[in-house]
Structure 1
Amino acid sequence: MSDAIKHECGLAFIRLRKSFAHYQQKYGTVMWGLNKMYLLMEKQHNRGQDGAGVAAVKLNVEPGYPFLSRIRSSANQPIADVFRQIGEEYKELQKFNPDISNHAGLMKGHMSFMGEILIGHLRYGTQGKNNAEFCHPFIKRHTIPARNLALAGNFNLVNTEELFEQIGINPGEFQRQSDLAAMLEVIYHYLVKEDEVSPQTMDVANVLRQAVPLFDGGFHVGGVTGSGVGFVFRDAHGIRPSYYYIDDDVVVAASERAAIRTTFNVGENEVKELMPGHALIVSNDGEISIEQIVDSKERKACSFERIYFSRGSDEKIYKERSRLGYNLSKQVLDAINYDLKNTIFSFIPNTAEVAFYGLVKGCDDYLKQIKIDRILSWGNDIDPEKLKEMVSRQVRIEKIAIKDVKMRTFITEDVSRSEMVQHVYDITYGTVRKNEDTLVVIDDSIVRGTTLKESIIRMLARLNPKRIIVVSSSPQIRYPDCYGIDMSKLGDFIAFNAAVELLKERGQDGLLQELYNECVELIKNDQLHTVNVVKKVYKLFTNEEITQKIAQLITPANLTIPVDVIYQTIESLHEACPSNLGDWYFTGNYPTEGGNRVVNKAFMNYMEGKNTRGY
C-alpha cells in the first residue's frame, strides 16, 4: 500500500494442557510454550510494530508466591526486546544452577514467565501514545487470585465514555485514551460480581455474557484470570478475525490462521475459525468449551483483512487477492483498448504483488483465447513465421517500482520535505519505450493519494510512458473506520476530497453546510448514530465522476503524461472475498450504530477544521 495506514493489532493465546515435564520429555525443552509464543507473535509481526507485550499465569501456585507476570516494550524491535528480557532472567538463573533447564519444577518456580497460560500482543497505535504504558496486555491485580485479570486484543470501541458511565467509574486521563482500559474495567466489574456470588465455581462465560453486549465495536480479545481461566472472544459481527487450534498438548488462538499453521505445523482444516459472538474458554482444570456469549449478527468480517492486513501466506487470502486482481483485468483491457503489445504491467511494492499476478493472469487468459481464435481462423494455411510470432506473444510485465529502505526525512521545511518524499520509491530504467508504452501499475488501495502524487507518479513519469494507469485492488475508500484501523479523519480520504471538489465546481458546496447543520440537530436530539449523513455527499456523483477527479488530484502539476485511475467495484470485491463482506469503508454501511456516529463526527471535525479522530 503506497499510503501507509495503521495496521491491525495481533493477538496470541497459548494454554498448555500438560505439565512442563511433559514438554521437556517430548520436545526437549521445558520452555516449549514460550518458544511457541515467540514464533506465534513473530509470524504476526505484520500486525504491530509500535509495541508488544506478554502476560503469563502459573497454575496451582502456593499462596504467597507470584502467579501473574507481565512484560511490555515499545522498543524499535518490541518482540525481540520482550523475549530478550525473558531470556535475561533465564541466564541469571543459569548462573546459580547451570542445569536448571533440566528441572521443570525449578524452572516454573523461579522463572516469571513459565506459566501454563500465555497471552501475547502486537500493537499498532490507533489510540493513545506509542509507549510501553499503552501496550497490551493490561492487568488488574487483587489479593484474591480469581480477581486478577489480564486482557489484550485487536479492536476499537466507539462507546468508551458510555462504558465508564455504566459501571460508575470516573476515568483518569490514561483511561480516557485507551479502549482496552474501558473494556478491562467493564469485564473486571462483572468478574468481581461473579466471584462474590460463586467464588468456588466462577463462570467466566456468564461474566462475558454480561459485559460483551455493552461493547460497540469490532473486537478479538484474549484474557486470563489469576485463578487460571483463559478465554478468547469475538464480536457479534465477526468484524475482527479470530482463529484457534486444539490438540492434546495445547490450546492456541491468534488473529491469523497462517500464523497458527506455521508455528504448530498443522493443516488448514485443523485450524478453526471462532464464530462471531462466541468465546473459547479453558477452565483452570483444562476443560475446553466454545460458548455463545452474544447473539450472532449479520457477518461483517473486515474486507481489508483480505485486501491488505493479513499475511498473504494464508492459502485462502492468497487466492482472494489473486482474484481481486483477476477481476480487474476486463476493466484494464477496456482502458488500454486491448493493446497488450504496447502496455507494460507492474505493481506498487510490496503487498500488491499477489493482486498483480491475478491481473496479469486475467490479461493472459484473454491473450491465450486470442491466439487460439487467430490460429483456428488460418485453417490449413499456416505460415511458420506467423505462427511463431503469434505463440510468442505475451503480457509484458516488469518490476518498475522499487521501494527503498524506509527513508526518514530530517528536513522540516515543506518544500525540501516534498523533494525528499519523491525518493521513497525508485524505478527500473530502460523498461519502457518512451512515448509508446502505456504503464499499468496496481496498488492495494488508494487512501490519501499523497504518496502517489508526490512520489510514485513523478517517479513513473521519468520513464516517459505514453500514459499511466493506476489500478486499485479495492474500491474507493470513502468513509472512516472505527473498528481497528486508524482511518477516522474524513479529510484524509482522496475520494472525499474529490467529491468536495466536484461540489465546488458545480456550485453545490452549500450542501456541506446543510449537512453540518443536520449533524448539529442530530446531536441535540441524541440521534447522531441513526444515519450516515456523508452518504449524501457522494450521492450526487457517479463512481466514474469521482474516479476521474481523483485521477486529476493525484496528477502532479505540470505533468503532461495522462494519468487515469481504475477502481475495483463493490460487486467484484464481494465476489473475490465472499466470507469478508464488511465494506463500510467503501459503502458507509456500518455494522453498528457507533459507525454512523463516528462518520458524522468526522464530518463535523472536517467542517470545523479539527485535525482529530472521529471517536
Structure 2
Amino acid sequence: MPLAHPWRDPDDDRPRLECGVFGVFSVEQASAVTALGLHALQHRGQEACGIASFDGQRFHYEKHMGHVGDAFAGADLVDRLPGASAIGHTRYSTAGGSFIRNVQPMFADLEAGGIALAHNGNLTNFLTLRERLVSEGAIFQSTSDSEVILHLIARSRKARVVDRFIDALAQIEGGYALVALTNKKLIGVRDPLGIRPLVLGELDGKPVLASETCALDMIGARFVRDIEHGEMVVCSDKGIQSMRPFPAAQARPCVFEYVYFARPDSVVNGRSVYQVRKRMGRRLFEEKPTPADVVVPVPDSGVPAALGYAQASGLAFEMGIIRNHYVGRTFIQPTQGVRELGVRMKHSPNRAVLEGKRVVLIDDSIVRGTTSLKIVRMVREAGATEVHLRSASPPIMYPDFYGIDMPDRDKLLAARHSLEEMASFLEVDSLGFLSVEGLYWAMDAGQRDAERPQFTDHYFTGDYPTRLLDREIAEGRNDLVERQLSFLVSA
C-alpha cells in the first residue's frame, strides 16, 4: 500500500518486501515447476502464496496462507493445477492485510478470455485509481493494488489483450514487476524506472520469468537477461516479443535489493548480490574502523558484509550469533513479557566466541533499532567486553512507497536522532554507517551524481524517483487516509 501499515508487528524491526513473482510458458508440469521457483523466492514473501495454471481450455488456481512448501507439496499438485503454463506469487503482508482474498495471483474473466496476474511492488496512485473506479461502479473483492490493474484491463476499449494491458499500464504509477497469464500468452512487465526486478530465463527452450535469478537456478533454467526498465515481454507460441510501452527514462533500480532483499546467490541487474555485499563490508571498514578482536554478523543478511569487513581489517570472522530458521512470527506470543524473549527464539549467542571479546557487530541496516538493541544486549550478556555496531548501509532516513513495508519517518531511528543519540539508545560502544558514496562504490557505480542518481536510493537520500500522488493527496486530505484505513480494517 502507498502508506505505511498501522498494524506492523511492534517486535519486528526488519523492512519487508511485499512479494516475488514467477511464470513459465509451455513447459511440462508447469505448476510443479512454478512451485519450485516460488520456493526459491520464499524470502520475498512468507505469509501467503498462490499459483494459477492454464491447461489449454480453462484456468485453475489455488491460494494459501503460509509457506510454499506446505501449500504445494502434494504429489497431486499437477492434477490439481494442470497445464503447460503457470504463474505464481509469494506474498508478504502485515497483519491488517493478511487475508486470503488478497493473495495472488488474481484472476478475472474478460471478454477476450481469462487473465491471471501477479504483482511485485506498489502503485503510488493506487488509492486515486481505486476511488475513481469505485465511483464508476467497479466492485472490488480485495484491498490489493493488483486488483486495480485487472479493473483497468477489463475497462479498456482496446480489442487485443496486450493492448488492453498497455492501456492499463499507462494509468498506473510506482514501482512494479508484473507477470500475467492469458489463454495464449505469458506477459512480463517492469516499471519505467526498473525499480522492482524481473529476469527472463529459458528452460528447455521455453521462457521463464522470475523476480530473481536464484529461482532460475532452482529449476535448472538458463539465465537469458534482465527484463529492461520500461519493457514488456510477450511470450507465445510464436516466440518472445519485446515492447516498449513507456516513454524513455533513465533506469533507477532499487538499491535495497543489494542491501537486504535479494538472495546472496542471485545476480540482480548484472551484479552479484554476494559480491556487492562483501564490498559493502570492505568499504565499511575503510570508513568506520575500530579496534576489536572479532567480527560477528547478524545472520543471515549481514554475513557477506561481515566477511568483507573481516577480510579488509584482518580481524577474525566468527559466527557469534546463531540463527534459528524454524521460528514463526514472534508477535503471536500472548504477553509482552514473552514477546521480549522473541529475539532469542530467532538468534542465540555463541558464548564461546563472544565472551571476553571486543566485538564488531555487522548488520545490513538499522530501521527502528528495537531489534538491534535486543541483539546488542544479548551479545553483552554472553560476555562481550565491548560492542561496536556497524551498518553495511547508510542511515535509513525516509520511508518507502514502492513495495517495501517500512515504518513512517517519525519511527525511523536515524530520522529522529543524531549518531551519538543512536549509539546511546542502542547501548553500543560505537556506531557507524556506510556512506551513500561508499554504497555506490560497493555497487561499482562510482560516485552518486545528485542530478542523475543511478539507483533508487530515497530511503537514504529522500530523492524519490517518481511522484507520490496518493501521499500528496493524503497530506492535504485526512479523509483519504481515514478511508484507506477503514477499508483495510474491514477487509
User: What CA deviation, in whole Å up to 9, does each residue of 1:288-335 have, x standing for no partner?
Assistant: 2011111232221111111111111125111111111111111332xx
Q: Is 1:310 matched up with 2:262?
A: yes
Mapping of residues 96-175 of structure 1, within 5 Å = 111=79, 113-125=81-93, 129-142=97-110, 144=111, 146-164=112-130, 169-170=136-137, 172=139, 174-175=141-142
Question: What SS does structure 2 have at the residue aligned with 1:271?
Answer: strand
Residue pair 2:31, 2:77 contacting (<8 A) in 1 also: no
Amino acid aligned to 1:397: F
Task: State the distance in 2 between where 1:36 and 1:447 align.
Answer: 36
Give the AA of the match of 1:13. Answer: G
Change (3 A) 1:588 1:252: same
Aligned CA distance change for structure 1 residues 396 and 135 (closer, same or farther; 3 Å): same
Contact 1:279 1:293 in 2 (8 A): yes
Task: Please state how far the C-alpha of 1:432 moved relative to its aligned partner.
Answer: 4.4
Deviation at 1:252, TM superposition (A): 0.5
Equivalent residue for 1:37?
34
1-structure distance, mates of 2:195, 2:189:
12
Give CA deviations for 1:8-28 in whole Å, capped at 9, x if unaligned: 4111110117xxxxxxxxxxx
For residues 548-567 of structure 1, what are the alpha-carbon distances to aligned partners after superposition, in whole Å with 9 as ceiling and x for unaligned? 22112222xxxxxx532110
The letter for the 2-side match of 1:258 is: C
Alignment-derived partner of residue 585 in structure 1: 459
Residue 348 of structure 2 corresponds to residue 442 of structure 1 = no
- Go from structure 1 to structure 2 and tell me whether the alpha carbon gap of 1:88 and 1:259 turns closer, same or farther (over 3 Å shift): closer
In structure 1, how many angstroms separate the alpha carbons of the residues matched to 2:217 and 2:188? 18
Q: Is residue 33–residue 219 contact of structure 2 (8 Å, CA) maintained in 1?
A: yes
Q: Distance in 1 between matches of 2:12 and 2:296?
A: 14
1:275 corresponds to 2:195: no
TM value normalised by structure 2: 0.85
Decide which of 527, 544, 550 is 2:422's aligned counterpart.
Answer: 550
Q: Deviations over 1:25-67 (max 9, x none)?
A: xxxxx53x333222211111111111111111233x4xxxxx1
The structure having more radius of gyration, on CA atoms, is 1
How far apart in 2 are the matches of 1:419 and 1:72?
33
Does the aligned pair in 2 maintain the 1:163–1:186 contact within 8 Å? no
Contact map agreement 1:480 1:599 (CA 8 A) in 2: no
Find the partner of 1:575 among 441, 444, 454: 441
Q: CA deviation at 1:165?
A: 5.1
Cross-structure match for 1:322: 278
Letter in 1 for 2:419: T
**Within 1, Cα distance between the matches of 2:471 and 2:388?**
33
The number of residue pairs the alignment matches comes to: 460
**Equivalences for residues 451-470 of structure 1 within 5 A:** 451-453=371-373, 455-470=374-389
Structure-2 change in CA distance of 1:119 and 1:600 (3 Å): same
Conservation of the 8 A alpha-carbon contact between 1:156 and 1:179: yes
SS of equivalent to 1:141: strand
Q: Secondary structure of 2:13's match?
A: coil
So what's the TM-score if we normalise by structure 1? 0.69
Matched, 1:194 2:158: yes
Aligned-pair identity (%): 25
Q: What residue number does 1:504 align with?
A: none
Amino acid at match of 2:87: I
Structure 1's unaligned 5+ residue stretches are 18-29, 62-66, 91-110, 196-201, 365-394, 499-545, 556-561
**In the TM superposition, what is the alpha-carbon distance from 1:188 to its structure 2 partner?**
2.2
Structure 2 stretches lacking a partner, 5+ long: 1-10, 446-453
Which of these residues, 47, 72, 75, is aligned with residue 82 of structure 1? 72
AA at the equivalent of 1:194: K
Structure 1 position 298 matched with structure 2 position 250: yes
Q: Are 2:36 and 1:72 equivalent residues in the alignment? A: no
Aligned to 2:471: 598
Counterpart residue type for residue 16 of structure 1: S
Q: Distance in 2 between matches of 1:466 and 1:590?
A: 41
More helix by share: 1
Coordinate RMSD, CA, aligned = 3.1
Please give the alpha-carbon distance, in whole angstroms, between the structure 1 residues aligned to 2:474 and 2:421.
25
Structure having the larger proportion of residues in strand: 2
Q: Paired residue for 1:362?
A: 312
Q: Which one-letter code corresponds to 1:4 in the other structure?
A: R
1:70 and 1:416 map into 2 onto residues whose CA distance is: 39
